[in-house]
Amino acid sequence: MGSFLSSLLGGSPAYDSAASSEDSRVTSFHSSARWQLHFNSHKDSSQLLVIDFSASWCGPCRLIEPAVHYMSTQFTDVDFAKIDVDELSEVAQEFGVQAMPTFVLLKKGKEVDRVIGARKDELEKKIQKYQSL
């Protein structure tokens, strides 16, 4: 089942490995204050920041999660953040998040693109495009 899903997601079997989750570079934020500090420090950097807006009971969020963890191990110069919209509702509101998952790509604090839904290939392409711009 797992490998079948991986093939549907268009990727490597590594998505299935528990290790990919443990090695994940995705940082979860649970307080507005911590998020604001992180976001402010990002504004001065040219690093690509990818924010994954998800929710506990969101099926597609669960489906794409292993792929996001895997991407975070592949794109080591990209900063991956995760925000639960029910925990940090005001941050989700600030970014105009309506459907989950929503991935917002930022450079120097400004949105350059976004991907809505569990669209792994589209997300990967956009990360590749913006990581070195």
Residue from 67, 71, 100, 104 in contact with other proteins (CB under 8 A): 100
Laid out side by side, the sheet with 102-107 consists of 26-29, 79-84, 48-54, 102-107, 110-116
Q: Which is nearer to other proteins, 30 or 129 (CB)?
A: 30
Whether 21 is catalytic: no
In the shown chain, the binding pattern of residues 102 to 131 toward other proteins, with x for contact by CB under 8 A and - for none, equals ---------------xx-------------
Active site residue 91: no
In the complex, what is the shortest distance from the CB of residue 91 to other proteins, in angstroms, rounded to a whole number? 10
Q: Compare residues 107 and 120 and give the one whose CB is closer to other proteins.
A: 120
Alpha carbon 75 to chain centroid, angstroms: 12
List of residues 6+ apart from 95 with CB closer than 8 A: 51, 53, 102, 104, 111
Residues 27-66 that bind other proteins (CB under 8 A): 28, 30-34, 53, 55-63
Among the candidate windows 15-23, 40-48, 67-75, 84-92, which touches other proteins by CB under 8 A? Answer: 84-92
Give the distance, in angstroms, between the CA of residue 73 and the centroid of all CA atoms in the same chain.
12
* Short-list 36, 24, 27, 38, CA closest to 88: 36
Q: Active-site residues: which are they?
A: 58, 61
Binding site for other proteins (CB under 8 A): 1, 4-5, 8, 28, 30-34, 53, 55-63, 84-85, 87-90, 92-93, 97-100, 117-118
